[in-house]
Amino acid sequence: MKNPLESLHTTIVLGLVLTVVMVLIINAMYS
């Protein structure tokens, strides 16, 4: 199976997803 990080577009999408996850975690810590 091809590594998703071989695609630059997928890399950027994964980075954006990680950003959303991080923001949700931080918000949950302070809710």
Partner 1 sequence: MHIDPAYWTFFFRWLHIMSGVMWIGLLWYFNFVQIPSMPKIPDAEKPAISKVIAPAALFWFRWGAMSTIITGLIEAYLNGYLTDAIAFGLTNHSIQATRIGFGMWLGTIMWFNVWFVIWPNQKKALGIVQVGPDEKKAAGRTAMLFSRINTMLSIPMLYAMASASHLPM
Where do contacts with partner 1 occur on this chain (CB under 8 A)? 3, 5-6, 8, 11-12, 14-16, 18-19, 22-23, 26, 29-30
Smaller CB separation from partner 1, 1 or 6:
6
Given CA atoms 14, 18, 19, 23 in this order, what sign does their dihedral have?
positive
Provide the 8-state DSSP code for 30.
T
Distance between CA atoms of residues 18 and 10, nearest Å: 12
Least distance between partner 1 and beta carbon 11 (Å): 5
Least distance between partner 1 and beta carbon 1 (Å): 14
